[in-house]
Chain A
């Protein structure tokens, strides 16, 4: 889960990381009041959970209250990379200066946290990592102990941070690591960390929370706002599905991420276009299956549905009952449904399935080809 900038900055402030003075505003008038309190110049920043807001016109640096009014008027209500902007952060402008980068994440390759520092802040750090990996100092952290103080000093030294702010940057890195650990971060990033005459200040703030850890971060789970940009994605999220909407016309429901991805790939391989990824997960009961069909049928672009279940935890008889129940909720089946069941209790599932209303195939390849044909091929 991605926190918004103002939420991340609140965490940063509590952790003792210096941030510019700022106020959240939902209306133009609130933005003006905030700017009057803070004093111009200020930055007016769209609060949406995407990177590259500046380039997309979501951040404006302004000198006067009139300009604040104009900027807030323009940014509030705009669509930014598919997200509706309903709040802006009005923030004291910081004089442009040296831009550093500080971050903490998990290094998947070794399964350990890694703390990173670079003098190449202000640009996309993944680009820096690809073009000039030596420009980022990385310190692998032992998760049993957390970050040792020397590791912060070492990372700062290796990155070539100016001696005058080395202690400040090391303190920020230590605070960021501790915050990341305590609040179950997946990625925490300050880019840029600006060097000013008074020390350093976090001008941007990224804090992504591990979705699997939200159960023990209740206050962060509570601020988790709907990240869905799309009504169907919202519906799927409410039902608790892993769902990703795509552009095609073959609806896909399956169990297990790898098998659902493979089903998408096969739809394309056989000349169709997948409409979505929908994983009903392990142990899917009848209600869940019915909700999955409801979600996919609600996509107006879907012309046919392929339902591909291979039973491990999920039992074929439960799935078949779910499909029958789901179909009972429709007066007529809106689009052709091709079902393929295999694995645990699949034979019983095939017996239970109402073949008057769904087409049953026993091989994955046949099921996908039947659905692609029913959808009328590529959109």
Chain B
């Protein structure tokens, strides 16, 4: 079992003819993902890495029964690509694109609320269910199938922690990179809700970072509704206030909201074991799962 994507997922890549779209389509195919279609307006009829390209998402869904989209479309066109994906009634839409204007994401999120689609991202690495499929850019070689669910605002930090987990023999059920933007589709709470329904996820690792209050919301949700044990990590303890640390969403406000300490305190008071280093996180997982 897993969440969001599995061996039956049929993936369409929006923006498949661009450099990143092409490279990661090949990487996904190599991992075993069923990439069944690409979409680029005006390029229908071509093929990339043997994958047929369509002009619209609807045409791709009709012809190839795609149920999951991975979006590599540049920022200026990303919102439209996401609206198109939502219109096609897909189960999961993964937005890799970094730098989508926040007001665009707000409008996408508004439309998303009226659908049953799960949006993952933007500005995230996507979703992987190890041994089955990946929808995104995560490096498949560091993941192993197993009982640990992961949800994270940062791609590379996820890989780092997964690498340590795998090295210690703890595989992963599904890893969800929710993205580093101020507004994202699936947040921590929604990801935790999904993992809670997955019988094969025995523990969840939640990787947060400075900025916003999603970790605090996750802490309340864990306290009230999550039975699965959760291990936490929060990046940015050394981040100065008022400075954006890379991600558009990673900023401690001048008045001190969004600090790592605040998030760590909230998570700990909800019973989450929070590690100070990636190695400590893995240690906490080992304590839980033996």
A residues apposed to B, CB below 8 Å: 51, 106, 108-109, 111-113, 124, 126-127, 130, 142-144, 181, 184, 186, 210-213, 215-216, 242, 244, 246, 254-262, 264-269, 274, 277, 279, 282-283, 310-313, 342-344, 364-365
Contact = CB atoms under 8 A, between A and B. Distances in A.
Nearest to A181: B103
Contacts, number: 184
B103 A343 contact: no
Contact of B180 (A126, A181, A257): A257
Contacts of B105: 111
Interface of B: 20, 24, 27, 75-76, 98-107, 109-111, 125, 137-139, 141-142, 152-160, 163, 180, 182-183, 207, 209-210, 212-214, 217, 233, 235-240, 243-250, 253-255, 257, 260, 276-279
Given A260-B246, A265-B236, A277-B246, A282 B98 contact: yes
Given A106-B102, A265-B235, A342 B142 contact: yes
B139 A109 contact: no
A254 B154 CA distance: 13
12 contacts: A126-B253, A144-B107, A244-B244, A255-B156, A257-B250, A261-B245, A262-B160, A282-B98, A311-B139, A342-B160, A344-B139, A365-B277
B156 A312 contact: yes
Given A108-B212, A126-B255, A216-B101, A269 B156 contact: no
Nearest to A214: B101
A164 B201 CA distance: 61
A364 B76 contact: no
Contacts of B247: 257-258
Contact of A261 (B137, B139, B217, B239): B239
B71 to A, nearest CB: 14
Contacts of B250: 257-258, 261
Contact of A143 (B110, B210, B212, B246): B110
Given A111-B183, A212-B101, A274-B238, A257 B277 contact: no
A127 B240 contact: no
Contacts of A215: 75-76
B240 A246 contact: yes
Contacts of A106: 102-103, 106, 182-183
Given A143-B103, A258-B154, A259-B154, A265 B237 contact: yes
A244 B240 contact: yes
A165 to B, nearest CB: 28
B106 A112 contact: yes
Given A127-B255, A257-B247, A364 B278 contact: yes
Given A312-B137, A365-B279, A256 B246 contact: yes
B41 to A, nearest CB: 19
B150 to A, nearest CB: 12
Contacts of A143: 103, 106-107, 110
A259 B100 contact: no
A255 B110 CA distance: 31
